[in-house]
Structure formats: structure tokens, C-alpha cells
Amino acid sequence: MMDKLPKWADILLVPLISLLLAALVSALVLLAIGQSPMQALTVMVNGAIVSPYGWGYTLYYATSFIFTGLAVSVAYHAGLFNIGAEGQAQLGGLGVALACLFLPWPHWSLALVGAMVGAALFGAAWAAIPAWLQAKRGSHIVITTIMFNYIAAAVLIYLLVEVLRPAGQMDPASARFPATTSLPQFQDIPGLQSLFLRYAADGTVRLNAEGLPLYQKVPANVTFFLAILACVGVWVMLWHTRLGYMIRAFGKSEKAARYAGISAVKITMTVMLISGALAGLMAINNVMGQSERLLQNSAEGAGFIGIAVALMGRNHPVGVFLAAILFGFLYQGGAALGLETAIPIELRTVVQGLVILFTGALDQMVRMMLGWAFRARRTV
């Protein structure tokens, strides 16, 4: 019924067309509310790419999205749709906070390792119960992970309000982490540093009270490089290890996997633990690298954006990386929109939803459209 598309078209064109469709519909929405799509795009580009400050934020967001995107992808390769990255990332934040607050760290690099362990453990733990229920009792993982997102939010509110909030503080947040756990941000990294110098109107470098140069502070931090490593790691794991082989085989055909002696329970558990750990690791970026304390709703929806990122990136680490950058742009650009124009920041939620819709649910439609185009070209 449907013409088969060439592989390159399936990998490149389908997500691209989906993205264009999402952009088109968003533009229509903007027109409908009397805003100019072109102006919106200009503001977004200026706010998110043009200045080092802008892309400092874009990459910060992208870092989070890479982790959650990988989390969703890894599970997806095993045929599991993990909607719980949000909750797992929040729990990961808890792990980071506990590691940073209650253990003495002499240096950030050690703290980073410790916090990573905490983040991964807590994220994985939060994925473990839905995984176990899926593996052993056949409870649909989509529903259980949704439920666990809500439960995670409740757990965090309780802990932040009743346990972690320092005496005398009014907002529900943990104490600040000690300075020794502070991760280098881009403006602290030699080599990148000079990009972020602050200039006065006359073009001279601005100095602080002690006469040292002032830098623009961006939240992008060393976690970005960890995210790249995670991409490579996931790629190696999926396509160059036995585990990855078994995950993919299980994801393609559960029955055949059983024939090959691949245990459904083991793979489901392992893959969800990895997925949860990846989602949890996101917290290194936002909790340790940025806010340096645990806030309520720290993941800010990045877990859900992971779904869009994974779909858009075709569940391949390279694709996830690119899609995460795209969504980082969308997020930072959206923030610029909120500041500079009358367009509500929620526009980015709409775009995000549309991208998921076109890449994940209407992909057949996109393929059919492309199929027609290919046939038309052949007959011409």
C-alpha cells in the first residue's frame, strides 16, 4: 500500500518534514493570534544563537534534553515507552542533593563523580518499580510511569517542605550546596572563558571591584561534555555490545527474543534501570550545575521533552544530540520571546507538542506524503 522510502529519506527527510509541518502549524497559530511568525523567529534566533550568552543557555537546556532524550531512546529500543523520565529526573535531583549536601567533597571533580552516582542510583530506582511491574505483572509501563511522575512530585514536595528545607527559609528548596561542589560553567573554563567577557558601552572589558574582568554567567557547564560522552556510550552500548544487541532484539520481537534465550525480565529491568539512570543524570546539569540547590519541579518538563527529542532523533544518539540542540534553541528562544514580545512563552509547549504529534503519531502521514512526492518525481 505504501511505497517504501529510501533509507536516507526515512532517516533525514521524515523528521525534517515533520519539523517543517510543526513549524508551519505554529506559524498559523501565531498568525491567528495576530503575531508575526517572522518576528518570532528573529527574536528566537537572536535570543538563542547569536550571542554567547544565548547559546550558553541553549546548550544548557540541550544538555538536559540529551540525557532525557537518551533515556527515552534506550527504553524505546527495548519496545518500552518510558514517559517517566520527568519523575526519574526529579529523583535524580534528590540523589544529587543528598550527595552534595551530606558528604564532604574536597573538589568539584570528586563531587561530580559522587553526585553522578547519586543521580543515577535515584533515577534508576524510580524506574525500577514500573519496570518490575511491567516485567513481572505485565502492567503497562506507560501508565505506571505516568503515575510515578505524579508520585515523584508528591515525594519531592514532602521532602523539600518537611525535611530538606533549612530552618527559617520560606521557599520549598534545599539549602545551597557547599562551594566545593560547584561545577565549572562555560565562563569558568579556560579557553571558552574569553567568549563570555562583559564589555562596557565604550568597548572596554568591564571590571569588578577588585579590578578583575567580569564575565557573563551562563548555566551551560561541564555536564554538556558528559552528555556527549553519554551519547557515545549509548551508541556503543546499543550497537556494539551484547547487551545492546539483546535490547534491540527484544524490542523488535519479544517472542523471537525468548527463542534466542534473551530473558524478558532481565532486559526489561536492565533497560529501564539504564533509562532511569540516564534521566536521573540530567540532574547533574540543572541541580548541581545550575541552581546549586534542589528546587521543587527542578526538571521543568525536560523529561517530557525527552520524548520529543527521542522521536525527532529517531532514537539514535546522533539524532538525539541534534534534536536536543534544536529543542534547546526552542527553549531559550521561547524565553527570549517571553521577554521581548507579547507572545506567551507557552508557544514553545505548542511547538513541542506539534513536533511529537508529527514525528510520533502522524509519521505515516508524512511518509505517505513523501511517498507521493517520490513517485511523482519518478513519473516526471
Ligand X SMILES: Nc1ncnc2c1ncn2[C@@H]1O[C@H](COP(=O)(O)OP(=O)(O)OP(=O)(O)O)[C@@H](O)[C@H]1O
Q: How far apart are CA 257 and CA 31, in angstroms?
A: 51
Tell me the closest approach of the beta carbon of residue 273 to another protein, in angstroms.
18
Q: Which range in 243-251, 285-293, 312-320, 367-375 contacts ligand X by CB under 6 A?
A: 312-320
Q: Does 375 bind another protein (CB under 8 A)?
A: no
Tell me the closest approach of the beta carbon of residue 311 to ligand X, in angstroms.
11
Q: x/- site string to Mg ion, residues 219 to 258, per CB under 5 A?
A: --------------------x-------------------
Say if residues 327 and 62 touch (Cβ distance below 8 Å).
Answer: yes
On the CB side of 14, CA atoms within 13 Å amount to 27
Tell me the closest approach of the beta carbon of residue 224 to Mg ion, in angstroms.
24
**Binders in 93-112 for another protein, by CB under 8 A:** none
Q: Among 324, 359, 291, 254, which Cα is nearest to 15's?
A: 359
Q: Among 61, 53, 23, 25, which Cα is nearest to 218's?
A: 53
Task: Tell me which H or E stretch contains 346.
Answer: none
Q: How far apart are CA 356 and CA 133, in angstroms?
A: 27
Q: Name every residue whose Cβ is closer than 8 Å to that of residue 300 and which is 6 or more positions away in sequence.
A: 286
**Residue 316 partner contact from another protein, Mg ion, ligand X, none using kind-dependent CB cut-offs of 5 to 8 Å:** ligand X
CB nearer Mg ion, residue 239 or residue 372: 239
Say if residues 111 and 100 touch (Cβ distance below 8 Å).
Answer: yes
Tell me the closest approach of the beta carbon of residue 232 to ligand X, in angstroms.
10
Q: How far apart are CA 119 and CA 94, in angstroms?
A: 7
Q: Which residue's Cβ lies closest to ligand X?
A: 316
Q: x/- site string to another protein, residues 221 to 240, per CB under 8 A?
A: ---------------x--xx
C-alpha cell at 235: 551508541
Instruction: Among 158, 225, 239, 372, indicate the residue that binds ligand X (CB under 6 A).
Output: 239
Say if residues 323 and 89 touch (Cβ distance below 8 Å).
Answer: no
Instruction: Among 179, 209, 212, 380, indicate the residue that binds another protein (CB under 8 A).
Output: 209
**Amino acid identity for residue 309 in this structure:** V
Q: Does 77 bind ligand X (CB under 6 A)?
A: no
CB nearer ligand X, residue 316 or residue 348: 316
Q: Which residues bind Mg ion (CB under 5 A)?
A: 239
